[in-house]
Chains A and B, each alone.
Chain A
Amino acid sequence: MTYTWDFAPVVANWDLLAEGLLNTLKVTGTALSCGLALGLVLALMRLSRHRLTSWPAGFVIEVFRTTPPLVQLFWFFFALPLLVGIEMTPFMAAAVTFSIQSAAFFAEVFRAGIQSVERGQWDGARAIGMTYAQAMQRIVLPQAVKRMIPAFMERAIELMKTTTLVATISYADLLFAANEISQKTFRPLETYTVVALVYFVLIFLASLLARQLELRLARSGESTVR
């Protein structure tokens, strides 16, 4: 079977693709920044000695790590609005789901990083009179965060790939733009190929950056945690 490839219809719709790409980056950025902040809170709660704080954090982390992200997204988009009586836009559902989901993964990265800091650092900080919060903030976290950078980058890349799921609840991300264009132009082969390549270039560059950073950190003598 011979098929003549024709990319002209896809190129003609480049504005849709650009808008989709922008929306993909918007969801990724929102979920990443909220996920990092929430992840740190969850990690600190889980490390706490009080059951009342460590147990709920552990529950959230386990639930969001062990259920499929698509099921979470559907729950937040179709079930939650009825439960609390608010209007949920696809963007809000996606932002909330992926923020909590990546927070659960980031929490484990934070926890591993904090635990990897030598006991003596704590003792030293306490010996010169720092409180737990001061020691954590000034001594432990700065060292831990440096070791966590590669694991963070990896999670951020995973997050960008996961955001494609928002296309299933009709948020106009890059993949959704592909669905639209292929239906409009009857050129699914070219459209999906182009979109796959756009994702590849974007994520591959991010991976290269992560690898470069990891090499530099390894050279400066920092072991990495996963």
Chain B
Amino acid sequence: MRWDFASVFDNTDALLVGAAGTLRIFAICLVLGLSLGLVVGLGRYARSRWAYVPATIFVEFFRNTPVLVQILWFYFALPILLPFSISPLAAASLGISLNSAAFSAEIYRGGIQSIDRGQWDGARAIGMSWAQAMRRIILPQALKRMTPALTNRAIEIFKMSTLASAVAYVELLQQGKLIASLNFNPIEAYTAVAVIFFVFLWPLVQFTYLLERRLRRDE
């Protein structure tokens, strides 16, 4: 067996289109997932039942079903209930974002709960409302502790973005499939895709390790 990456390099444009697609869905899911996660996390932390119960059901449901099932549900099942069709990008983003929201909600909740009770009391004592104390005192401190966990979530989202290929959204793995089937070079095509992902993600993973070490030293 001779390796021949020339056939992969000939298709650099296709891989670039795929990389752009991967980055697009990654950005969408990162923003939607982490911001929705904060809302749900606050709901999980709230004392009111009207916030706590729906947030808990949301978290349990999306944490305890596979993402691929969610994506396929949004792509094949949801359009039947809606008067319009759903694009592969929309279905995959919905699945990955909601799943990440459920996981990051637990990170936010844990982070907020880890802040010392005295910080709340102090903020309330100088006249801050609950929302002010949360925004100005609690969240900034909690966010620092949550950074490694949230960065890990971002890495997971990047990896999950490959699942969008199951509904034929054009991203790196999908383009790898295309190149492999056109040039009969699955070895080189899939190796190239794996290497690209590794090169993207490895620095991010090392950065998380660094954050974790620094945080352990600071606390």
Contacts and interface: CB of A to CB of B under 8 A. Distances in A.
Contacts of A8: none
30 contacts: A3-B80, A66-B198, A67-B194, A67-B197, A68-B197, A70-B163, A71-B162, A71-B193, A72-B194, A74-B173, A74-B190, A78-B186, A79-B186, A79-B187, A85-B1, A161-B67, A164-B66, A165-B163, A167-B68, A175-B66, A175-B69, A178-B69, A192-B69, A192-B72, A192-B76, A192-B77, A193-B77, A199-B64, A200-B64, A207-B64
Contact of B64 (A3, A72, A162, A204): A204
Interface residues of A, number: 42
The B interface is mostly helix, strand or loop, or mixed, namely helix
Given A68-B173, A189-B81, A164 B201 contact: no
A29 interface: no
Nearest to B172: A71
A175 B95 CA distance: 15
Nearest to B187: A79
Interface in A75-89: 75, 78-79, 82-83, 85
Interface string A163-204: 011011000000100110010000011011101100110011
A69 interface: yes
A128 interface: no
A18 interface: no
Contacts of B65: 161, 196, 199-200, 203
